[in-house]
Structure 1
Amino acid sequence: MQWFGKGSGNIEDGRGKPSGGVIGGGIGILVVIVGLFFGQDLTGLVSQLPLGDVGQTEIKKGDPTDKEGKFVNGVLESTNLVWEQQFAEMGKTYEKPVMRLFTNSVSSACGNASAAVGPFYCPGDHKVYIDLSFYQDLQNRFGAAGDFAQAYVIAHEVGHHVQNLLGISEKMQRMRAQLSEKEYNRLSVKLELQADFFAGLWANHAQNLKDFRLEEGDIDEALTAANAIGDDKLQKQAQGEVVPDAFTHGTSAQRMFWFKKGFETGDIKQGDTFNSSQL
């Protein structure tokens, strides 16, 4: 993909000084596996992680000037443009999220988080959090290389922001106390697959932006990333067996299906994963 436009201006850059708190050993590996693209309700997980001097790095606001920072900033701005249009068509006003870049660990309204948790969205402060070293893991550990695979990560987390603004996330959280863990996991899968659909919808409409250009192989990169982080594949790698009742994000096939559906239709009305039989 190529982006020729300006940045979003909604970046908080806290990269630089290592702040400690990297989780080691089996705990770190476990958190990486269950935390990838978690996206929602991290409070109970991240606030308990043992961290060092979180929040001591100086925060720079505005548009980053380095290559990696410019890239994620451009992707964020393209999501802003697409979702502003989508919300306007629904008679609503889109609130742009903030993206917080960090190194090793960070403090959010959802609690403290290590980079091992992976990228996440915190509904408490409307921010997307990412340590850009995650992209190295995405390529080296999960075999999902390419700039559009990286863009998919951001578009998925922004999808959770959209769910938050539309009241979907709040409705789900209200139901949490009434459901068993198995039942809630099923809802969580639907929430995550809808975020994948929203990422595909973004890709569809981003093609029409004057400053954005899809390149050959881009969509395949996103589908490769979606395939790599399916619950079934991650469980198989981690524990040698697949436990469907413990799924929280959906299988590889489901994640690819819903991203592709979002990209092919570009119609937000087609993304009701909660009432769909195609799960």
Structure 2
Amino acid sequence: MARDPFATADLEIVGQVTTASNVTLVCGADGVRVVYKPVRGERPLWDFPDGTLAGREVASYLVSDALGWGLIPETILRDGPVGPGMVQRWIEQVRQPVGRPELVDLCPVGEIPEGFREVLRALDGGGRPVSLIHADDPRLRRMAVLDVLLNNADRKGGHALDGADGRVYGVDHGICLHTEPKLRTVLWGWAGEPVEDELLSDITLFVKALPGELGDRLAELITDTEIDALETRGRALLDNPVLPLPQGTRPIPWPAF
């Protein structure tokens, strides 16, 4: 059987994402493009003291994969040019025509495009009133449910990718899976609305699978307490299948993009 270069080939650094808060490198691996985040390049976070951000990225992928939702690109832990780190398959994105909004975007107040939902109103850098909007897209709605399960503290607009393959992907899950409520997201447009039965069926199977092999794999990446909290969030969604309303003083990450 041929070995997958994603997992085995030497990584060659070809670029760096300079806007990322932690070291984020773009690499080639025998013709395959990947994102590589070395553990050595992580900034310590006082409220995420356990494990590594790379481990949380892989754990988040395992959750998405176990649900069968395919929302997070394949993500593994492996060695690289700067030591062990997270390696994730690169996603080619759709280039939107000029004037067409992205999955998450800004628009002038009162000019929300058809098929989009308003999240909030604010002033842009020039002092003009704008609306934060996101697509009313079932693929993105599924991501909003995933973020509730993951307790995602950092769903920025730029972390939702419109893939050239017709799928929507979420990236940057280094600060997920905390035991305390930390949900911060730009995807509040469905807050208070029911979660679809199809997704609830997937969550039911997921919760049942947690005590088995899935839980064992997660235990290599996050704490047992965090796994218990993940199960609690899953059961809470099944008991009250509604997307939550924003809580606290900072329900949206900053910056939002």
Q: What TM-score do the two structures reach when normalised by structure 2?
A: 0.32
- Larger Rg over CA atoms: 2
* Higher share of residues assigned strand: 2
For CA contacts below 8 A with separation 6 or more, give which structure has more relative contact order.
1
Q: What TM-score do the two structures reach when normalised by structure 1?
A: 0.31
